[in-house]
Amino acid sequence: MGLQINKYSANGNDFIILENSNLSREEIIQITHRNFGIGADGLLVISSTDKCDFKINMFNCDGSTANMCSNGVRSCLHFFHHHIVDSKTGEYKFELAGKIYQGLVDSDISTLILDESNTSFEIVTDLPFKHEFRSCGFVNTGVEHLCLEVEDIENLKVNSLGSYYRHHEFFQNGTNVNFFQLKNDQVFIRTFERGVEAETLSCGSGILATAVFLNSKEEKSLREFKSKGGDSIVRYSDLGYEYEGKVHHVFSGEYLL
């Protein structure tokens, strides 16, 4: 059976985007496998809905469902804008995990907006290991994120440390783990992602969670983030948080299941 697929990359995260598909967990694992399939951090399915412009169903590469992946969302916005609407600039509303979000697209720049209507921004700082880091917080931006401020981001053993805190007994459902360091008003960040179970080049929801955590300590209208996958910006205003960065359409084609 031939499956029409679209490969996207956003800030180093790569995704497979499909339209109106209903795949099994085994098929998702097969397609996203980096040796035996196409390879991707996640698989995203776009479908129609009466509530807004489109709906996203999101899956990790282990076949599990996800409630939010900001780079994946920005890729879907880019796909919908350029391949379905085919417009120069656009503003859209979409449904994900039962919530309605808003996004903007301008050429290759795609932006996700989080506000109090879809995100609680609840922050927990009283963590059992808080004295081990310069600062730390647990934030839910649609998916759980632990944000840990470290002194040497470059030489950090992200996979071993990330795996430890990802499975820490404090977190009932596990968590994504973001390590960050502040350098000259820029935020350098590395993330161990739940579902991928390894460090990825970038994690959009982790960047947003870290921006939320940092703003709880010192409010800023703009923060620049640097990850292995590239640079991005988080803007903050009374309207909420805007996560902005470039998106790349890598290729489209047919995959034989």
- Name the catalytic one among 76, 136, 147, 203: 203
Q: What is the CA radius of gyration of the chain?
A: 17
213 by Cβ neighbours in 10 Å (0-12 / 13-18 / 19+) ranks as buried
Indicate if the alpha-carbon torsion angle 112, 105, 204, 54 is positive or negative: positive
User: What spatial distance separates the first Cα and last Cα of the chain, rounded to whole Å?
Assistant: 6
Could you give the C-alpha distances from 90 to 27, 115, 153, in angstroms and in order?
33, 19, 37
Is 136 in the active site?
no
- Name the catalytic one among 52, 61, 69, 147: 69
Is 69 in the active site?
yes
Residues tagged active-site: 69, 203
